[in-house]
Amino acid sequence: MLITFFRSILIYIFVLIVMRLMGKREIGQLQPFELAIAIMIADLASIPMTDPGIPISNGIISILGLLVMHLIISIINMKSIKARGVICGKPTILVYRGKIDEKALKKERFTINELEERLRGNNVINLGDVEYAILETSGQVTVIQKPEKRNTIPEDFNIVPEYEGIPYDLVVDGKIMDDNLKALGKNREWLKKQVEKFKMKPEEALVVTYDGKGQIFCQKKEG
């Protein structure tokens, strides 16, 4: 039993490393070939975990083989547009200029109810508000609303907002993010002075952020 326990931990760590090497896609954004490999890795990992009689190397070598296959297919995808179309498929337009394409729905085995469900997932309640709905190769549905139904943006009023940049975490759980301080051209002394304005030390902060406008958000850890 103890051997099975440690084998499970070892295989879990190995599978975690392999999945990280495969990239950062979310499960819902996996391409078909990536999803197939992920499922196969799960099956291959479970066999040596549950059966101590099977050498753990069998599962590891098989998983490494799938990783190599994934890397090869990924490289082919990046190099060839034709191969990309064969391996990943092409997006399908389900709604074109406000009209539902019934042939496209039948081809993708999509029902009206499923289409409405996906639209609600994009915060679109009324089918009549949709100009285009595109079924992406990952299975996600991208929705483009009719111009009169879209949310207004500053450009609609000829307004140019100030540049905001991205916020940097300077302290997380009391730990100072030195790399982010360096990226901002700041140091620990500067950080200490800024945090002291909130009557605390950096080590006492739950989080400290610094945005593109120079504003600092700081919250103290409880207890």
Cα–Cα nearest to 107, from 140, 144, 135, 142:
135
Residue 154, domain member (yes or no): no
Higher pLDDT, 11 or 167: 167
* Element (DSSP H or E) covering residue 106: helix 102-107
Query: Do 50 and 99 fall within a single domain?
Result: no
pTM of the model: 0.64
**How far is CA 66 from its chain centroid?**
22
In order of 76, 93, 128, 187, 207, the CA distances from 193 in angstroms are 52, 55, 55, 10, 15
Give residue-wise pLDDT tens across range 84-127.
877 778 899 999 999 999 999 999 998 999 999 999 999 999 99
The segment with the largest mean pLDDT, out of 35-39, 170-174, 209-213, is 170-174
pLDDT tens column, 144-202: 999 888 888 888 888 888 777 788 999 999 999 999 999 999 999 999 999 999 999 99
Residues 7 and 74 both lie in one domain? yes
Q: Is residue 157 part of a domain?
A: no
SS3 197: coil
Positive/negative CA dihedral, 62, 68, 71, 75: negative
Do 77 and 24 have their domain in common? yes
CA distances (Å), origin 179, targets 122, 158, 183? 36, 38, 6
Q: Is 104 domain-assigned?
A: yes
pLDDT of residue 1: 62
User: Do 35 and 22 touch, CB atoms closer than 8 A?
Assistant: no
pLDDT at residue 9, rounded to an integer: 80
User: Which DSSP symbol is given to 200?
Assistant: S
What confidence category does residue 50 fall into, taking pLDDT thresholds of 50, 70 and 90? confident
pLDDT value of position 183: 92
Residue 25 confidence (pLDDT)? 59
Cross-sheet strand order for the sheet of 99-100: 99-100, 92-96, 130-135, 141-145
Q: Identify whether residues 175 and 209 lie together within a single domain.
A: yes
pLDDT of amino acid 24: 60
Between CA 13 and CA 7 the distance in angstroms is 10
**Residue at 174 is within a domain:** yes
Structural domain for 173, as ranges: 168-220
Residue 10 in this model has a pLDDT that exceeds 60: yes
Buried b (16+ CB within 10 A) or exposed e, 29-58: ebbeebbebbeebeebbeebbeeeeeebee
